[in-house]
């Protein structure tokens, strides 16, 4: 009896713990517990420009800033935060996002938990616009989690101890700059190297002159000949590269599949895998997929992609763009379930305005804050 009484007391304490945020829960209970008319969902958005700490060069482009759109969805005085990050080469912009978001009418909805219905509507407003759609999805998830009082990794049933080490990305650069960047990245246990130009061997040799950490490689479709690509992958494997992203153009699944069959390391589809329907198409051509919220239209579809890829016995990587901690913290909610994480986006910028999941000692670290675990710091 004694232990049962303790159990009941502890249970009620625990339940009290769930209800700690009175401003949220009293509003939550008012709207849903007393049959009072619920409020409407309200969407707002504003552009913001991220300043990059270093000029960032990949196989196809260079830049020093990233345009983003910051969103908020408000319901009964509770606010969820979202973000669209739009590196120019992906085709979206602050103008296209503003045009899309202006058409999204969330005021027709009064139940923020009907995410399936609301997000199917958002997806139907216009084709494409994956980052703009993600900005609504992220804000809605943050809002719904805050209303429930729980973080999404818990709602999904994941263990926060299982978060992976994140890679830290080294862009294409001169050997002396590469060596310096590797030294600055001392905290990280695994580095991601941008490849796909004619300087690949030079990049790897520069890195290997200063560290023996495991590496991943991202060719960003930059290799044009499958035999040369597989020769390069064997050379990279011998030098401690443990995974390769998108070796050849996404329009050439057969060459990518030919490489995957012969590769000593997993080959991950990135540019070739945008949304849920692409996961099944990637099966047989790639070892796994790189899920990014800005491609998948947000957390809801990213979660479905993760579960489907697992069911298909595929590897899963979780990637990002240069983003604030708003979008990184949202992605981090999925990270306990992935093989590779590349969630360094907020570390590459100098003007973050959110606090959220962090990288500590190279590892993605989740907190118990509800929703996507994000709050504004400016
Ligand atoms: Mg990639």
Distance between Cα 317 and ligand 1 center (Å): 10
Considering the domain architecture, whether residues 86 and 233 belong to the same structural domain is answered as no
Considering the domain architecture, whether residues 160 and 47 belong to the same structural domain is answered as no
Distance between Cα 261 and ligand 1 center (Å): 20
- Give pLDDT, residue 37: 52
Q: What is the 8-class DSSP label of residue 316?
A: E
Find the mean pLDDT for residues 322-337.
98
Least confident stretch, 6-20, 22-36, 265-279: 6-20
Least confident stretch, 48-62, 243-257, 324-338: 48-62
Distance between Cα 196 and ligand 1 center (Å): 11
Report yes or no on 18 lying in a domain.
no
Read off the CATH number of the domain in which 131 is found: 3.30.390.10
* pLDDT greater than 60 at residue 156: yes
Find the mean pLDDT for residues 108-122.
97
Q: What is the 8-class DSSP label of residue 248?
A: S
Report yes or no on 12 lying in a domain.
no
Find the mean pLDDT for residues 149-164.
98
- Give pLDDT, residue 144: 98
Distance between Cα 270 and ligand 1 center (Å): 5
Q: Which of 149, 166, 199 is the last residue of a domain?
A: 149
Distance between Cα 246 and ligand 1 center (Å): 7
Distance between Cα 271 and ligand 1 center (Å): 7
Under 8 Å between Cβ of 294 and 273: no
- Give pLDDT, residue 316: 98
Report yes or no on 143 lying in a domain.
yes
Under 8 Å between Cβ of 298 and 137: yes
Report yes or no on 50 lying in a domain.
yes
- Give pLDDT, residue 8: 39
Considering the domain architecture, whether residues 141 and 158 belong to the same structural domain is answered as no
* pLDDT greater than 50 at residue 14: no
Find the mean pLDDT for residues 275-285.
98
215 vs 38 pLDDT, higher one: 215
Distance between Cα 295 and ligand 1 center (Å): 12
Distance between Cα 144 and ligand 1 center (Å): 30
Considering the domain architecture, whether residues 186 and 256 belong to the same structural domain is answered as yes
Considering the domain architecture, whether residues 121 and 173 belong to the same structural domain is answered as no
Distance between Cα 52 and ligand 1 center (Å): 18
Sign for the pseudo-dihedral over CA of 232, 169, 265, 316 = negative
Distance between Cα 240 and ligand 1 center (Å): 19
- Give pLDDT, residue 179: 94
Q: Beta-carbon neighbour count of residue 59 at 10 Å?
A: 17
- Give pLDDT, residue 172: 85
Residue keyed to tokens 């001392």: 186
97 is in which domain, residue-wise? 27-149
Considering the domain architecture, whether residues 40 and 109 belong to the same structural domain is answered as yes
Considering the domain architecture, whether residues 72 and 122 belong to the same structural domain is answered as yes
Average pLDDT, the chain: 91
Q: Which of 149, 173, 203 is the last residue of a domain?
A: 149
Considering the domain architecture, whether residues 166 and 283 belong to the same structural domain is answered as yes
In the chain, how many domains are there? 2
Report yes or no on 327 lying in a domain.
yes
Report yes or no on 249 lying in a domain.
yes
Considering the domain architecture, whether residues 185 and 334 belong to the same structural domain is answered as yes
Report yes or no on 363 lying in a domain.
yes
Read off the CATH number of the domain in which 180 is found: 3.20.20.120
Distance between Cα 56 and ligand 1 center (Å): 13
Rounded Cα distance, 198 and 201, in Å: 8
Distance between Cα 339 and ligand 1 center (Å): 15
Find the mean pLDDT for residues 77-90.
96
- Give pLDDT, residue 27: 52
Find the mean pLDDT for residues 161-178.
93
- Give pLDDT, residue 171: 84
Considering the domain architecture, whether residues 64 and 78 belong to the same structural domain is answered as yes
Considering the domain architecture, whether residues 39 and 95 belong to the same structural domain is answered as yes
Under 8 Å between Cβ of 267 and 244: yes
Q: Which of 125, 149, 173 is the last residue of a domain?
A: 149
- Give pLDDT, residue 28: 53
Distance between Cα 218 and ligand 1 center (Å): 5
* pLDDT greater than 60 at residue 19: no
Distance between Cα 117 and ligand 1 center (Å): 31
- Give pLDDT, residue 241: 98
């Amino acid at each position: 009896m004694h232990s049962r009484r303790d159990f009941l007391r502890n249970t009620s304490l625990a339940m009290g713990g769930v209800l700690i945020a009175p401003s949220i829960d009293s509003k939550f209970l008012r709207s849903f517990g007393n049959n009072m008319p619920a409020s409407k969902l309200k969407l707002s958005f504003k552009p913001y420009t991220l300043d990059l700490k270093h000029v960032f060069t990949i196989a196809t482009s260079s830049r020093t800033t990233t345009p983003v759109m910051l969103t908020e969805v408000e319901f009964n005085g509770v606010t969820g935060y979202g973000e669209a990050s739009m590196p120019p080469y992906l085709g979206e912009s602050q103008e296209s996002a503003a045009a899309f978001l202006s058409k999204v009418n969330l005021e027709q909805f009064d139940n923020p938990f009907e995410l399936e219905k609301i997000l199917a509507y958002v997806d139907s407003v216009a084709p494409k616009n994956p980052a703009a759609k993600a900005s609504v999805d992220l804000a809605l998830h943050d809002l719904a989690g805050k209303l429930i009082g729980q973080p999404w990794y818990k709602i999904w049933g994941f263990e926060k101890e299982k978060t992976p080490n994140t890679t830290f990305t080294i862009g294409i650069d001169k050997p002396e700059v590469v060596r310096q960047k590797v030294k600055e990245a001392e905290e990280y246990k695994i580095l991601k190297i941008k490849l796909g130009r004619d300087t690949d061997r030079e990049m790897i040799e520069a890195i290997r002159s200063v560290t023996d950490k495991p590496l991943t490689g991202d060719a960003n479709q930059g290799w044009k000949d499958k035999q040369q690509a597989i020769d390069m992958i064997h050379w990279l494997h011998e030098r401690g590269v443990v995974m390769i992203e998108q070796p050849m153009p996404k329009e050439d699944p057969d060459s990518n599949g030919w490489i995957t069959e012969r590769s000593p390391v997993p080959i991950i589809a990135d540019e070739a895998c945008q949304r849920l329907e692409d996961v099944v198409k990637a099966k047989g051509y790639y070892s796994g997929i790189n899920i990014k919220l800005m491609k998948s239209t947000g957390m809801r579809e990213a979660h479905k992609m993760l579960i489907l890829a697992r069911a298909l016995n595929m590897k899963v990587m979780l990637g990002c763009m240069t983003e604030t901690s708003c979008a990184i913290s949202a992605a981090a909610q999925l990270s306990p379930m992935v093989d590779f994480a590349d969630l360094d986006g907020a570390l590459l910028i100098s003007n973050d305005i959110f606090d959220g999941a962090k990288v500590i000692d190279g590892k993605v670290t989740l907190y118990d804050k509800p929703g996507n675990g994000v709050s504004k710091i400016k």
